[in-house]
Structure 1
Amino acid sequence: MHHHGHSHANDDENHEHPVASRKQMLWAVILTSSFMLVEVVGGIISGSLALLADAGHMLTDSAALLLAFYAMTLSAKPADSQRTFGYGRLQVLAAYTNGIFLIGLTIWIVWESIQRFYEPNPIQSTTMLFVAILGLIVNIVVFKVLHSASGSNINVRSALLHVIGDLLGSVGAIVAALIIWQWGLLWVDPLLSIVVSMLILRSAYHVIKDSSHILLEGKPQELDTLKIREDLMALEGVVDIHHMHLWSISEQEPLMTFHALIKDDYEGDTMIDVMLEQLRVKHGLVHATIQIERTSCLENTDAVTCVDTAVK
């Protein structure tokens, strides 16, 4: 069996983008987590569950941002003998864990909100309003910081979605505070909390869905297996492509392995180069491992002749 064809020329490209956006990530983490504490305190003082829910949302943001930052630091770590693919998966695993945690948080907020519909507690609307406005400002700043950093990184993108949700949360809290201040309708607060927790739940669902797809060795969304096979089969000298596996380590690193049955009169190494080149140019697949098989294997049952004769 001959496994060859890992092209290492483009290995660096996975680790280029983090450096610039890492600093921005760190800022986003610091801003978000420090404001989350402000919101917790504000929520407790003003008696507003909506602020606490929003703080919960901020916590998920901080987690998402921290993960992204951590992943950027780690994915720059080289692969070692124990983890031959490097640490790219860690960010996916972390995102998955985060998603599970968010679901727990949502349940708590909803439970608490239902209690409050029955027995509303007094709310200091001015404190609530002040904290909510502050929250809006912080979120706008974080959004600006991240927006400039979001390239093709699953973490920055999910973090950005979190922040947009948060922006809406802050706007909601401002409106709720105004309503309570003006008309004293205390049930607006638990109602908003439920809305915010639905936002949290939605982001949790997406995070879990995307990360578990990668963890289950699912096919990268943007690549089409059938199309890739069709393109390879169209190459001159290729008889058949089988045992195709396509998966990804993190969202940025697709990998592929397959067996290629080629005609006897074609040179194995040349064919590998041709196929690798096509995968890179047409599909952006940099990592592929190809096993070459010969057509003479079909007529001949003797296993020895099936070994690629062109490679000594």
Structure 2
Amino acid sequence: MSGGHGHGHGHGHALSQEADKRYLWGALALILTFMVAEVVAGVVANSIALISDAAHMLTDASAIALALIAMRIAARPPKGAYTFGYKRAEILSAQINGVTLLLLVAYFVYEGVHRILEPPDVHGPIVLVTAVAGIAVNAGAALLLSKANRRSLNVEGAFQHVLNDMYAFVATAVSGLVVWLTGFRQADAIAALVVAALMLKAGWGLLRDSGRVLLQAAPSDLDPDEIGRLLAADADVEEVHDLHVWTVTSGYPTLSAHVIVARGSDCHQVRTRLADLLHERFAIGHTTLQVDHGVPGLDRHCADPHGPRHSDPLKSPYGDP
């Protein structure tokens, strides 16, 4: 019997995270500086689109700050009951960012509909100038965040906040121009509704992807059945069961399985070979494989094997599962 695991963490991970932090701090500074100016402009112009953009920028700043805090927490080493460390902190951060986007959607839809029915006076030129400046600021912040590791849902959550805010400024600039040239005051509220639709898409995507991680679903680019069949195809393997594939945090796929091998096979060699195969074929660097010899007529070493069993009926003494 052999039980073992393998690790495949990159040596440059710590350096990469430090670079990500610098990009996030730069984006945060840009956003906070402009947010103050936009609040003043929104009040002076009496523009819901500008005020909604300012509120969104506050959530942008909060999202980036939360991402930085989550990165710091996630860097803590495993200890005590937290055997995987605190890596899920980044996923919780992505969840919070997704929820805040959806909450903002609800507010902007309510306020936007109200202002379509009862449009207030809006100062188009102030809205236009402020929005154009906002586009430049958010484009700069989005560029900084795009250089960070967006495979991390934590970073992606902050990026989506900033990107959607840039879209919001584009819509606001158009509405300011329309109000200025035509006097159509409802354009301001319509712009807020367009932004709400974009935020709904981004927020739902963050909740869906982070929810998969929290529910320990297999990564969307990995098929557990394909992995099971590939492991079972090894010449010494008779059966694979209790196969679990999940993600601890973004970019950290993990696998465990119970592997039954033929009598006379070297359990240690089989385990090493399968771990290398998983790393090369599926980029799964953290694997835990329990490898046992199969004995015809006896149980499969698990009183309650979970999930489907993978085997080749031509090799397995257990027959076709």
Shared fold, TM over 0.5: yes
Where do 5+ consecutive residues of structure 1 fail to align?
304-312
2:207 corresponds to which residue? 208
2:289 corresponds to which residue? 290
Instruction: Give yes or no for contact 1:258–1:290 (8 Å, CA) kept in 2.
Output: yes
2:319 corresponds to which residue? none
Q: TM-score w.r.t. structure 1 length? A: 0.89
> In structure 2, what is the Cα distance between the partners aligned to 1:245 and 1:227?
12
> In structure 2, what is the Cα distance between the partners aligned to 1:111 and 1:144?
31
After the TM superposition, which of the residue ranges 150-159 and 168-177 deviates more from structure 2? 150-159
Report the Cα offset of residue 20 of structure 1: 1.2
> In structure 2, what is the Cα distance between the partners aligned to 1:4 and 1:265?
17
Identity %: 29
Q: TM-score w.r.t. structure 2 length? A: 0.86
**Are 1:251 and 2:280 matched, yes or no?**
no
Report the Cα offset of residue 18 of structure 1: 0.9
Q: 1:289 to 1:150 in 2, by over 3 A?
A: closer
Instruction: Give yes or no for contact 2:102–2:203 (8 Å, CA) kept in 1.
Output: yes
Report the Cα offset of residue 301 of structure 1: 6.1
Q: 1:187 to 1:301 in 2, by over 3 A?
A: closer
Instruction: Give yes or no for contact 1:220–1:251 (8 Å, CA) kept in 2.
Output: no
TM alignment of 1:1-312, pairs within 5 A: 4-8=3-7, 10=9, 12=11, 14-150=13-149, 152-296=151-295, 298-300=296-298
Report the Cα offset of residue 13 of structure 1: 5.7
Instruction: Give yes or no for contact 1:46–1:128 (8 Å, CA) kept in 2.
Output: yes
Q: Secondary structure at the match of 1:6?
A: strand
Instruction: Give yes or no for contact 1:53–1:197 (8 Å, CA) kept in 2.
Output: no
Where do 5+ consecutive residues of structure 2 fail to align?
302-321
In terms of fraction of residues, the more helix-rich structure is 1
Q: 1:156 to 1:87 in 2, by over 3 A?
A: same
Q: 1:168 to 1:97 in 2, by over 3 A?
A: closer
After the TM superposition, which of the residue ranges 48-57 and 282-291 deviates more from structure 2? 48-57
1:208-264 Cα deviation digits (max 9, x unpaired)? 111111111111111121221122112121101111111111121111111001011
Instruction: Give yes or no for contact 2:175–2:191 (8 Å, CA) kept in 1.
Output: yes
Instruction: Give yes or no for contact 1:51–1:132 (8 Å, CA) kept in 2.
Output: yes
| Aligned residue type for 1:119 | E
> In structure 2, what is the Cα distance between the partners aligned to 1:107 and 1:43?
20
Q: 1:301 to 1:234 in 2, by over 3 A?
A: closer
Report the Cα offset of residue 131 of structure 1: 1.4
> In structure 1, what is the Cα distance between the partners aligned to 2:191 and 2:145?
26
> In structure 2, what is the Cα distance between the partners aligned to 1:200 and 1:253?
27
| Aligned residue type for 1:85 | F
> In structure 1, what is the Cα distance between the partners aligned to 2:34 and 2:202?
20
Superposition RMSD in Å: 2.2
Q: 1:206 to 1:3 in 2, by over 3 A?
A: farther
